[in-house]
Structure 1
Amino acid sequence: MAHRIRRVPPASLGPMLHAARLRTGTGLRATARAVGIAPSYLVGLESSERVPSRTVARQLADVLALADGERALLLAAAVSDAGRDYPRPRPVGDTRRTILGDASDTSTDAP
């Protein structure tokens, strides 16, 4: 299994995102909810500790209504092999049916 290298965003990215969020007048939790990420993830982005996936970067740019230069900075820092953009292997078959039984099975053992 290949290990991904942890990336460090540009130091100016976090403060720019924080300022943009304050400019919109939206709280941290409301912004995270609108983007579809955890508030702790947004804190990591605003403190320049995390690098967003391209998908999250595009959504965040739209929610914060970033100017062209801000959007360019965010998208340049985004990565394609993380978060929502990182493919994870899926289990073969539907494991819920194996464990819980088939929900469509309405037969009973009672006479």
Structure 2
Amino acid sequence: MLAAARERAGLAQRQASVAAGLVPSYVGLIEHGRRTPSLAAAQRLAEVLDLTDGERTQLYAAAVTDAGRSHPSRAEGRGRA
């Protein structure tokens, strides 16, 4: 869905990534289902790509609020405080 919305917006992957303040490879991984976007990234992409309400709902439902290796819950899972 994300790639189709990006193409509909007339943007290359790199253009959409830069406009959203994201790394192009990250957006590519999201488009191919290899990464789950953070909620912040999903919101940025939704704005840049002018997603429909239904597309936004779908993207936000797939997003995670605790993305990132430095998140405390991930550190605890590896035995770190």
Q: TM (normalized to structure 2)? A: 0.82
Residue 50 of structure 1 corresponds to 35
Deviations 1:64-94, CA, capped at 9 Å, x for gaps? 00001100000001101104xx46xxxxxxx
Give the C-alpha shift of residue 51 in structure 1.
0.4
Give the C-alpha shift of residue 18 in structure 1.
0.3
Give the C-alpha shift of residue 53 in structure 1.
0.5
Q: Percent identity?
A: 51
**Alignment coverage as a number of residue pairs:** 72
Structure 1 residue matching 2:44: 3-state secondary structure: helix
Aligned partner of 2:48 among 49, 60, 63: 63
- Structure 2 gap ranges (5+): 73-81
Aligned partner of 2:3 among 10, 14, 18: 18
- Return structure 1 stretches of 4+ with deviation > 2 angstroms: none
Q: TM (normalized to structure 1)? A: 0.61
- Structure 1 gap ranges (5+): 1-15, 88-111
**Following the alignment from structure 1 to structure 2, what is the Cα–Cα distance between the partners of residues 58 and 28?**
16
What letter corresponds to residue 59 of structure 1 in structure 2?
Answer: R
**Following the alignment from structure 2 to structure 1, what is the Cα–Cα distance between the partners of residues 65 and 57?**
15
